[in-house]
Structure 1
């Protein structure tokens, strides 16, 4: 008789970043369904999902509820603010957080597995592409918390090395949707590119308003992001003037056969890197439980450190030094209603969360001549 392993998810399926939460939750639910149908495991997975509604104070409350039910593995959340809110309680209670989203780096906790990419796997390759393709004048915009602050700080450092220029930098509260003033300022002196670290509804509103203004003036501006995926296109809508570029470990075009299979099994969902990372995380969890015969966080981590696991993202290996995953890296541009991959590094990239081993010297070369040591062009 198969046993049962229960785990939790803290993902906001309502609130300002609901599209991200829903997409990650779909990845978790679909993986659970497939694992429970498989004969490769001697247990079933049982998911306990709580919706904090994008309210920061609700995350700790929801985590406490899961703790009272004896749950020691939790998947989520979406934002770095909510992740940081949880870490003290995770460490105090010995709970393991499976974090499937891109984040700003400069963190390492024994109680968090970082599975969505840190700056050397996402932001640094994207900036390298932008500096070579578009130029060295940038405008930085972000939501007013650690994701926006740190991502833009790294961008400023990279631009400084490249002898670039930050034309402006603005922050907005989560949920802000009025951007007329910043859009007008942007168009008075258009940058070579914009780095967009807004989140959820704020990002969607900014992109729509900027697109309308650019279309009216006959401008086409590149806008870069590491957290914009297929999962949010319903909120973004059609872009007619902007060029939207993103970087992450998965896009639907990377593995169309996987996306087609998932649609047959689970219906019409966007299969983004939020989906894929959450889906892969559940498979990591199940394989580690099966390998160790134990679902304690300690045993699960040791099983993951010991050997990589084959996933939709590739052979995932978790570093015992910093609990980060090695990941592939793809740069893609939105074309119509889908992302088209421009550059790819399919070899798994070691995470460097503190950027201590990441060489920024290639950014010193003149635009158009810098070396590309990692990414190759897909034609």
Structure 2
């Protein structure tokens, strides 16, 4: 039994270097901010919350070895992972040790682990919303391009089915390396040109995403009619891409930093005061932030840090996250979230064009696959504000 004054130590498993560090650095910073907030508020019933840090460098093998090192160092819980390949490398480690991984990134769904809390969007909280918006707004011809790893293949499979059920056609599908050369991008551009006018659905991540968006802009495609749509390109990627290559592109996510909620104003102000006024904030950043607060409250309520105690308590309360109240769902360990769709406006910032009016229950297996889903959705005018 831990002393009432003994610190609680968590492990951070976010890449500070490597191909996906552009987003993982923001997730790490958000987790650090949440830890500071917990400690400034008196800790967890007086117990200080400490961090054991790491840099798995966007490499699945290093994610596994760093997870083992963190647990050997005695951390109570691990927070981290971005790519699905890294999550899948870490899960056997936490399962063997009977610990928990808090995973703050959207993913392809169709997974359950008794040792994982999924804080990012499940397919019904982003893919389904994006498919509806795209087919209603831009037409029925699509080109898929993705990075060559687990998430893009599975996400594209889901999106293909969603588009098919909405009468749309996927004209072509291509995958490129996680670290693509210019020749890889050029070949994709040639295939897009050969296919005729199409909306692009991109599951390219990290540095490859930046190169792809910039190449699409140089090619001169009209993004008011044929944008790049994505689940993964948030504010960090847009900053790297640049304003001119971002305008008109579409993203679906539970959170955008332009949200005008009191919780979000507090979060974005605190984040930028600590890490820089121009620092981008994405849905993955926000999830990495709120899941630390969920953990701290679960420890406070249960008086323990073991997996069973945390999982028993987590579904019993909600936290006022920047996106809105969030809560862990008991049977799947996924999270009730607030789906939204946004388009990059002329200012270079996201403008929310569709959003849920209530939190949406996670459906990681898309059991209610083709129903009249979440009809509580609100259509909103450019710049926000419910119509």
Fold similarity call, TM over 0.5 = yes
- CA RMSD in angstroms comes to 2.0
Task: Report the Cα distance in structure 2 between the residues aligned to 1:291 and 1:60, rounded to whole angstroms.
Answer: 30
Which contiguous aligned blocks of 4+ residues in structure 1 show a shift greater than 6 angstroms?
Answer: none
**Superposition deviation, residue 156 in structure 1:** 1.2
Task: Report the Cα distance in structure 2 between the residues aligned to 1:39 and 1:27, rounded to whole angstroms.
Answer: 19
Question: What residue is the counterpart of 2:215 in the other structure?
Answer: 209
Determine if contact 1:250/1:272 at 8 Å carries over to the other structure.
Answer: yes
Task: Report the Cα distance in structure 2 between the residues aligned to 1:218 and 1:127, rounded to whole angstroms.
Answer: 17
Matched, 1:323 2:333: yes
Mean Cα deviation higher: 330-339 or 50-59 = 330-339
Task: Report the Cα distance in structure 2 between the residues aligned to 1:83 and 1:154, rounded to whole angstroms.
Answer: 19
Question: What residue is the counterpart of 2:253 in the other structure?
Answer: 248
Task: Give the alignment's TM-score, normalised by structure 2.
Answer: 0.90
Matched, 1:32 2:42: no
Task: Report the Cα distance in structure 2 between the residues aligned to 1:104 and 1:332, rounded to whole angstroms.
Answer: 20
Mean Cα deviation higher: 335-344 or 234-243 = 234-243
Matched, 1:43 2:47: yes
Aligned to 1:11, which of 9, 14, 29? 14
Matched, 1:357 2:368: yes
Determine if contact 1:140/1:152 at 8 Å carries over to the other structure.
Answer: yes
**Superposition deviation, residue 45 in structure 1:** 0.9
**Superposition deviation, residue 303 in structure 1:** 1.3
**Superposition deviation, residue 333 in structure 1:** 1.1
Matched, 1:284 2:288: no
Matches of residues 1-379 of structure 1 in structure 2 within 5 Å?
2-39=5-42, 41=44, 42-178=46-182, 179-214=185-220, 221-240=226-245, 243-255=248-260, 257-258=265-266, 259-264=268-273, 266-268=275-277, 269-335=279-345, 336-358=347-369, 360=370, 373-379=375-381
Query: Which string of whole-angstrom CA distances, capped at 9 and with x for unpartnered residues, describes residues 277-299 of structure 1?
Result: 10001100111111111111211
Task: Report the Cα distance in structure 2 between the residues aligned to 1:251 and 1:297, rounded to whole angstroms.
Answer: 31
Gaps of 5+ in 1: 363-370
**Change in CA separation of 1:40 and 1:81 when aligned onto 2, cut-off 3 Å:** closer
Task: Report the Cα distance in structure 1 between the residues aligned to 2:39 and 2:223, rounded to whole angstroms.
Answer: 53
Gaps of 5+ in 2: 382-387
Query: Which string of whole-angstrom CA distances, capped at 9 and with x for unpartnered residues, describes residues 81-106 of structure 1?
Result: 10011111211111100000000101
Determine if contact 1:32/1:45 at 8 Å carries over to the other structure.
Answer: yes
**Change in CA separation of 1:242 and 1:210 when aligned onto 2, cut-off 3 Å:** farther
Task: Report the Cα distance in structure 1 between the residues aligned to 2:284 and 2:357, rounded to whole angstroms.
Answer: 18
Task: Report the Cα distance in structure 2 between the residues aligned to 1:150 and 1:236, rounded to whole angstroms.
Answer: 25
